[in-house]
Amino acid sequence: MKVHAVVLAAGEARRMGEQKLLLEIGGEPMLARVLRACSHLPTLVVGAASLRSFVEGSGVRYIANDMPEAGMAHSLALADAAADPGSALLVLLGDKPLVTRALVDAVLEGAEGFDICFPQHEGIGGHPVFFSLRARERIARLPHGDTLHLLRDDATLRRRALQLEEIGAYADVNDPEALERLRLRAERSVP
């Protein structure tokens, strides 16, 4: 199965006061951590203009999202249009810096035979989210906004929620307090 990783990174990070994906956790930018987790896959980053040089310097394909206010569905549609049409998509979020390659691989392994596959713990869905070719056909029809859940929860698709507790699937950085919590967690996990 051919898969492209897609990192959604177009948010404006207003609560952080600066480009949060370049803030460091464990000595490296958050976005670098996410890119490392999916480095074994062809990867596209749909991002804000402020990330262009960082992404291109990482050797990853950058796709500009000039309408971040249109939400994640618009970013995903941009990635869908740019990705190999014969590949499934694995969608990661740039502000979930504790994602690991093991988590990426678990979702890919769990996706076999399904249109949608994602981690879930105590009823809460996480990332990355796998979208098969069949699911990709519906991406362009998603309304603007943060509506990816409409596709993830589409009962007409073969869906699998993997019961995983790995913190990287759920922990995101949306404010300075969350950043500090994840920095402390990263420091404790360094040998």
pLDDT digits (tens, 9 = 90+) for 74-123: 999 999 999 999 999 999 999 999 999 999 999 999 999 999 999 999 99
The two three-digit tokens of residue 78, written as one number: 């941009």
Tens-place pLDDT, residues 154-173: 999 999 999 999 989 999 99
Residue 16: what pLDDT? 67
Q: CA 187 to CA 145: how far, in whole Å?
A: 35
pTM: 0.93
pLDDT of residue 190: 55
Which among 31, 42, 140, 150 is positioned nearest to 90, based on CA atoms?
42
- pLDDT band at 191, cuts 50/70/90? very low
3-state secondary structure of 6: strand
* Model pLDDT, residue 176: 87
- For residue 14, pLDDT over 70 is answered with no
* pLDDT confidence bin for 128, thresholds 50/70/90: very high
| Separation between Cα atoms, residue 143 and residue 55, nearest integer Å | 27
Q: What average pLDDT does the chain have?
A: 91
Give the Å distances, CA to CA, from 9 to 77, 117, 131, 147, 148.
13, 21, 18, 16, 14
Q: Where are the domains of the chain?
A: 3-181
- List, in order, residues 6 or more apart from 72 with CB less than 8 Å away: 8, 145, 146, 147, 148
Residues in the chain, total:
191
Mean pLDDT of 50-58: 90
**What is the C-alpha to C-alpha distance for residues 95 and 17, in angstroms, rounded to an integer?**
15
Instruction: Give me the CATH code for the 3-181 domain, please.
Output: 3.90.550.10
